[in-house]
Structure 1
């Protein structure tokens, strides 16, 4: 065998090895593509199922939101009425506090007036008694002088 034939044989063997590796690579790539297609099919099916579920959830959410809005509109007059009652109660409370304060001041004034009248009455009685005693002393002094 000559060098040319030997070089041709080596080149043919190298090309054969290259073709074998290319076939193995293409076979593995084919398997990978099949698995990828299965995964994509599964994901597509799952996404479709999830999108249907999400539509149901969104529909229920919209229904609940509409229901809540209707009920809150129905509650608005009640809340306003409670606020009005609260305001009225506050006003009544303020009026009662004012009335109680006036009654307390009136009672204190009456007690003060009573104590003044008692003091004046006692002073009047004491003065009258002192005048009576002086009058008796003077009378006794006149009787004793005679």
Structure 2
């Protein structure tokens, strides 16, 4: 064998090794591409299912929000209806408390002694506290 034939043989073997390496690389890339294609197909199917279910879920959530708004409007209307009742109870409590204080002062002046707390005072103070709590809760409610 001459030097040219040896060089040609080495070049052919190198080309064969290069061709085999490229073939193996191309086969692996093809396998990965096939797996990616299958994954994308499965993702598309899953997204189709999710999108079809999302329409029903969106409809249900919308219905729930409408019902919640209706309920909130109803509650606000009822609170507005009973607002004068709590106002009247609070004012009545204040009036009874003032009357009780006046009566206590009168009795103290007449008898010169200390007067015990009466049931009317307890009721008046309870009414005042209920009115104050109602008024506080009403001011803390968010407005529309």
Q: Tell whether the structures are fold-level matches, with TM greater than 0.5.
A: yes
Partner of 2:54: 54
Number of aligned residues: 112
Structure 2 counterpart of 1:40: 40
Q: Residue 7 of structure 1 corresponds to which residue in structure 2?
A: 7
State the alpha-carbon separation in 1 of the partners of residues 102 and 81 from structure 2: 31
Deviation, structure 1 residue 110: 2.6
Q: Which runs of 4+ in 1 moved over 3 A?
A: none
C-alpha deviation, 1:80, in angstroms: 1.2
Matches within 5 A, 1:115-126: none
Segments of 5+ residues of structure 2 without an aligned counterpart are: 113-144
Shift of 1:52: 2.3
Determine the C-alpha separation between the residues in 2 that align with 1:107 and 1:33.
101
Equivalent runs, 1:60-139 vs 2, <5 Å: 60-112=60-112
Moved more, 13-22 or 81-90: 81-90
C-alpha distance after superposition, 1:86-115 (max 9, x if no partner): 221111100010011111122223325xxx
**Paired residue for 2:24?**
24
**CA root-mean-square deviation:** 1.4
Structure with more contact order per residue of length (Cα contacts < 8 Å, sep ≥ 6): 2
TM-score w.r.t. the length of structure 2 is: 0.72
Larger radius of gyration: 1
